[in-house]
Chains A and B, each alone.
Chain A
Amino acid sequence: MAFISSGYNPDKPMENRISDIGPRKYDEFYPPVIAKNKGKWLYHEIIKPGILVHVAESGDEVYTVRVGGARLMSTGLVMEICDIADKHCDGYVRWTTRNNVEFMVDSKDKVDPLIQDLEGRKFSGGSFKFPVGGTGAGVTNIVHTQGWIHCHTPATDASGPVKATMDVLFDDFQQMRLPAQLRVSLACCLNMCGAVHCSDIAILGYHRKPPMLDHEYLDKMCEIPLAIAACPTAAIRPAKVEFKGQKVKSVAVKNERCMFCGNCYTMCPAMPLADKEGDGIVIMVGGKVSNRISPPKFSKVVVAFLPNNAPRWPETTDCIKHIVEAYAKGANKYERVGDWAERIGWERFFEVCELEFTHHLIDDFRDPAYYTWRQTTQFKF
């Protein structure tokens, strides 16, 4: 592993430095049919699950084959995507905002060979490399985060639960039988990197134990006022603590005011809180970002805790499957999960999804909590 210089000179770091050039310009990478017809598209159709066609004013067509991706990808796999794009798509490919991969061709006869090629490719363990789907009223890819692969604040993993969930929902990735498209997302802590607060179904990593206090190091490693200001419920205060016969500056946490958000640990390395039994998953439902019919909605908490049962998180995937089936059965055409739940009433949502309603689900965070209680006699028995 001999070091090979790129040409960068560490003795003169600012010499020959190029900066502030930004991303490459988008139109360098457009397939010719896209460049030619940009802004002149007339309509589109979903020919079958995973296959779109867009028709332009010129009469030109572009066929798009969408395939699932694990988001976490090796360079080897990306190179394989490049091989496929070279073979079928003149060397063009794109990714979607949900981390699916789209291969585009400019005529219909190129579609079937492409699909056959994609569907024939499997990993050594047997899973599809490039399953076709993710269009229309089905389940598409799960927007997710880093988990135990790379992050220091997670309460669950990301790639693992996502794989487990997509295996369970796989049929709905490849078909379009739901009342509307169903967006699932995951975040491994409540920083909610991604889309958990605005998805039809969301998987959220959650802690249930207050932070441990590394008093010996706390004042050395942390800016104490920042840790105090990080707490949404003001459970942290500065404290002098006796440690090995010495008075040290540290913090005290009022455990009964702590709701385990982990934000103090984000600010202060001496306040770790991860725990095998304490940590697990919260399920939220009913969020959306589109303005279609109803305005955007936040997702709501419907399951307060499911255990981190690696490697396949069966309690979580069962719960999600249950909600998807109840929604598929009960909702009207075009209704998103949130539209359906609001129409039938949350009391009915819990009944048909067979979910237990516990005290954890009642909002108690500051003034706005009141507006989530029921100020009406309108309810269903």
Chain B
Amino acid sequence: MAKHDTPMLDQLESGPWPSFVSDLKEQAERRAKNEEGVEFQIPSDVCEDLLGVLELSFKHGRTHWKHGGIVGVFGYGGGVIGRYCDQPERFSGVAHFHTMRVAQPGGKFYTTDFLRDLMKLWDFRGSGITNMHGSTGDIIFLGTTTPQLEEIFFELTHNLNQDLGGSGSNLRTPADCIGSARCEWSCYDTQALCYYLTEEYQDELHRPAFPYKFKFKFDGCPNCCVASIARADISFIGTWKDDIKIDQEAVQGYIGGEFLPNGGAYTGRDWGPFDIAKEVIDLCPTDCMWMEDGKLKIETKECTRCMHCINVMPRALRIGDDRGLSMLVGAKAPILDGAQMGSLLVPFVKVEEPYDEIKEVIENMWDWWMEEGKNRERIGELMKRQGFQKLLSVTGIKPDARHVQEPRTNPYIFWNEDEVEGGWERDVDEYRKDHQR
């Protein structure tokens, strides 16, 4: 017998999509039965009370979590999101309901042994409810009490060789696309770079020292499967400099209908036979492709590597061999000054251990932002406030037409005094010798 009536939530058990309500109810039953005799360290009816408080929110159209909550583990300034219910007497199982962010492995690959160890620990010391995964990438342990935080952290680090993720005004948990682990378009090893920089900047991740949050994300190519360009203060997006490799025989395979365009992504509808002119050549954003004597040609110099032709004909077209990544800076959600996507800062850098060139850009940027950034000002907003030129100067990067979508239209141009002959110190009396009042 369920502890609380949940007539509204019950309606979310029907329909084909996996029902979180059914899952939570089944979990509540498992905890109630406790066939494995787990000595639960937080209330065993936590799932029932979570459903109960959620039902109340459905009824009230309002959240029932109190504002904020500051909890954590010694040595770190983040990693745990404290949360308390505003109806603790009615829903004592979720009176404390803190979230722990657990650092996820690159590409979110797991062995079942490791996952089971994590889940057993969470059953024992937490609610047994997770998010797989948080938007930033972390494994989310959803709901435990304050006294359990150090215990969980001790077990994570001592038994599972596993750390917490980030929260607060610091470097948050970096995340990557699947990269070269299982994708033919990855221009660098996203997992290797993500892991290296995560380890390199552990201190910046665990102890908030920044004006506000800062995120890294690593995309292997401009398709942006981890959405770095929209969701990271620095997005690392793979690219190449030389020719797209063309297998002309395979091109004929597509034209002849032997291979399905876009790997078969469009087979749910009859779009007619594949038409290379209409579907590839005419859609190329720079118009740098053509057919000549039955062969596909690409003028590399004019290609902006948007990925469309490669996406459509993965068996015929491959990324170049001179590979690296672009760095774009400043993406953020709307608060405070409006949403931003990453702006191109480094058009191309080679990705080679120990990644010194990349680290130099990151650290120069941090030096500037940590000194100049206002309280709760994302780096994207600092760029707007102090100008893109300032970002170039602190990173020692030479201005380049690639840095803009278009040049400025207003003529309100700043010059540095030393760029102007004679400087700015002038004597009006000298001027008056030639120009009477």
Contact = CB atoms under 8 A, between A and B. Distances in A.
Interface of A: 1-8, 10, 13-14, 16-31, 34, 38-39, 41-49, 52, 54, 62, 64, 68-79, 81-83, 85-86, 91-97, 99, 101, 104, 123-131, 135-138, 143, 145, 147-154, 157, 159-160, 163-164, 166-167, 170, 173, 175-178, 181, 190-198, 226, 229-230, 232, 261, 263, 265, 269, 272, 274-277, 279, 287, 289-294, 296, 298, 308, 310-312, 333-334, 365-366, 368
A54 B184 contact: yes
Contact of B129 (A74, A151, A293): A74
B161 A24 contact: yes
Contact of B23 (A42, A123, A291): A123
A26 B107 contact: yes
Given A20-B203, A49-B268, 12 more contacts: A72-B131, A75-B129, A86-B112, A128-B17, A138-B268, A150-B97, A151-B65, A167-B17, A290-B224, A291-B305, A312-B12, A334-B312
A4 B224 contact: no
B182 interface: yes
A176 B266 contact: yes
A-side binding surface: helix, strand, loop or mixed? loop
A232 B381 CA distance: 13
Given A123-B23, A135-B265, A30 B181 contact: yes
Contacts of A28: 105, 111, 114
B75 A69 contact: no
Given A8-B154, A232-B336, A296-B230, A290 B307 contact: yes
B227 interface: yes
5 contacts: A44-B184, A54-B182, A69-B132, A70-B17, A70-B23
Contacts of A131: 16-18
Contact of B22 (A127, A138, A287): A127
Contact of A74 (B67, B130, B173): B130
Contacts of B315: 42-43
A178 B62 CA distance: 36
B350 interface: no
B175 A97 contact: yes
A155 B301 CA distance: 49
Interface stretch (B52-60, B358-366, B416-424): B52-60
A166 B19 CA distance: 10
A203 to B, nearest CB: 14
Nearest to A21: B163
Contacts of B24: 72, 74
Contacts of B314: 43-45
A28 B105 CA distance: 9
A62 B112 contact: no
Interface stretch (B292-300, B337-345, B388-396, B428-436): B337-345
A320 to B, nearest CB: 14
Contact of A128 (B16, B66, B336): B16
B223 interface: yes
A15 to B, nearest CB: 11
A308 B58 CA distance: 9
Contacts of A149: 50, 54, 142
A82 B115 contact: yes
Q: Closest 8 A-B residue pairs measured CB to CB?
A: A125-B13, A26-B106, A136-B265, A167-B15, A123-B22, A276-B61, A74-B27, A177-B268
A192 B13 contact: no
Interface in B286-337: 304-308, 311-312, 314-315, 333-337
A368 B338 contact: yes
Interface in B118-173: 119-120, 122-123, 125, 128-133, 135, 142-143, 147, 150-155, 157-158, 161-163, 173
B230 to A, nearest CB: 4
Nearest to A89: B112
B6 to A, nearest CB: 9
Contacts of B180: 38-39, 41
B62 A2 contact: no
B355 interface: no
Interface residues of B, number: 152
Given A136-B266, A152-B83, A21 B128 contact: no
Nearest to B43: A1
B265 to A, nearest CB: 3
Interface string B252-295: 00000000101111111101000000010001110000000000
B347 to A, nearest CB: 13
Contacts of B266: 136-137, 176, 333
A229 to B, nearest CB: 7
Contacts of A151: 63, 65
Nearest to A161: B12
Interface in B184-199: 184, 186, 189, 191-192, 194-195, 198-199
A220 B396 CA distance: 46
A20 B26 contact: no
The winner among B75, B130, B132 for most chain A CB atoms within 10 A is B132
Nearest to B227: A289
Contact of B265 (A42, A78, A128, A176): A176
A202 to B, nearest CB: 11
Scoring B97, B135, B192 by chain A CB atoms within 10 A of each residue's CB, the highest score goes to B135
A160 B58 contact: yes
Contacts of B122: 75
A337 to B, nearest CB: 15
